[in-house]
Structure 1
Amino acid sequence: MSATAQVAPAQPIPAIGQAYGGGFVTGITRDPVTGKRSLHITAGAAHELVGKWGEYGEKIEGADSFTDSLANTQAMASAGSDLAAKVLALNIDGFTDWAIPARDVQELQYRHFKPTTEENWAGRRDGDNPNSVPIGQLYSEKSPLQTTHTDFQEGGAEAFRDTWYWSSSQRSAHLAFSLDFDDGSQYGIVKDTELRVRPVRSEFLD
């Protein structure tokens, strides 16, 4: 049998918003070191949690990735984060590899599932996502628009709330990255603040 014949046919990548893998397809990132692509899946709204990222002033080794949600979350849990431990304990439709989304994974949640019709905040580097596929550009006041996925629109069953959500990406000993799902503002917030989390899981495509 030839090498070509032994290669399995490529499986089609499920569409953004499609129910898949215990949640909803959110987008793709490419690891900046390995170059491998990952497909990210967002859990339903029923699985949101609320809590502190961690302790103010404590730098956690291994929680700095912008793409590896699971590695960040495992590092947080090892350092004593109750919120991270709760996310890691989730079992949704038999999938047990849930995590707090890394910064660039969380950005895809807003880009593709923006709940509101409000203008976006466009004053800093909000929306810049060099690790997404395709590469994410800076938000403008009008882009992205409210999601076309009706369940994720404001008032829908899966909609994000118009408030701040944690990512798992650490900014410093005092801050971690977060995102406001009202207007897309990305900001570092002190770690001992209680914010919401919408878990994700990831699958390698390469």
Structure 2
Amino acid sequence: MPVASKAAPATNLPQIGKAYGGGFVSGITVDLETGKRYLNITAGAEHELCGTWGKRGALIEGADSFIDGRANTEAMAAAGSELAQKVLGLNIGGFSDWAIPARDQQELQYRNLKPTTDANYCWGRDGDNPNSLPVGKLYTEELPGQTTVEAFKAGGPEAFQPRWYYSSTQRSANNAFYLHFDGGYQDNDGKDTELPVRPVRSVLIEA
């Protein structure tokens, strides 16, 4: 995972939705191989970008991580993805290590910053997130509920749109994972569809 120049202290971590590090805190992911924990920071709504994921039919090596959006995005950009290149070029609040969120980083965006009061989808792996802290469980219709963060509630200035958003996690040569923010439905679809992304960055949490 990418490491910022300054790690986040393990004590007094900012709460979900608090302004921090150029964006807003959206949760914690864990690298299960190393045990390292990362604070995920979601960019504000004004920094959303929209485009195609990449070329349909092209399998990109190094773009299949469920937690390392930066590595995925760099692999996408190297393969010619204009969307990934634009995200890598962002400088928000003095930080330039932004990425398209990996699948499980994106799940945290929905779980903790869900915009609506609508019932959740309960299908397949919706909500299952072994790489989050706490570990994400399968959604029920009621959980997660609408975020308590006012700015991210539907109609708020930072709210996600009730539509599909791309993750940076590749599913196959043709498809990439995405998530619908009006119910949490997680699926995959063609890389040549135009969809928005909400950038994210990760900060190592000090032991």
Contact 2:10 2:205 in 1 (8 A): no
Tell me the equivalent position of 1:157.
Answer: 157
Aligned residue pair count: 198
Partner amino acid, structure 2, of 1:75: A
TM-score of the superposed pair, with normalisation by structure 2 = 0.94
Tell me the equivalent position of 1:205.
Answer: 205
Tell me the equivalent position of 2:63.
Answer: 63
The CA deviation at 1:205 is 1.0
Distance in 1, matches of 2:10 and 2:167, equals: 32
User: Equivalent residues in 2 for 1:115-130 (5 A)?
Assistant: 115-130=115-130
Q: Deviations over 1:27-46 (max 9, x none)?
A: 00111222211110000000
SS at match of 1:58: coil
Partner amino acid, structure 2, of 1:109: Q
Distance in 1, matches of 2:128 and 2:64, equals: 17
Tell me the equivalent position of 1:21.
Answer: 21
TM-score of the superposed pair, with normalisation by structure 1 = 0.94
Identity of aligned residues (%): 65
Distance in 2, matches of 1:62 and 1:28, equals: 22
The CA deviation at 1:12 is 2.0
Distance in 1, matches of 2:76 and 2:124, equals: 27
Tell me the equivalent position of 1:46.
Answer: 46
Q: Deviations over 1:20-62 (max 9, x none)?
A: 0000001001112222111100000000000000111100000
Q: Assess, with a 3 A threshold, how the Cα gap between structure 1 residues 20 and 123 changes in structure 2: closer, same or farther.
A: same
Partner amino acid, structure 1, of 2:44: G
SS at match of 2:26: strand
Tell me the equivalent position of 1:106.
Answer: 106
Partner amino acid, structure 2, of 1:115: P
Distance in 1, matches of 2:56 and 2:157, equals: 34
Distance in 1, matches of 2:139 and 2:150, equals: 21
Partner amino acid, structure 2, of 1:14: P
The CA deviation at 1:89 is 0.3
User: Equivalent residues in 2 for 1:63-82 (5 A)?
Assistant: 63-82=63-82
Tell me the equivalent position of 1:3.
Answer: none
Q: Does 1:91 align with 2:68?
A: no
SS at match of 2:50: strand
Q: Does 1:137 align with 2:152?
A: no
Distance in 1, matches of 2:149 and 2:11, equals: 23
SS at match of 1:158: coil
Tell me the equivalent position of 2:3.
Answer: none
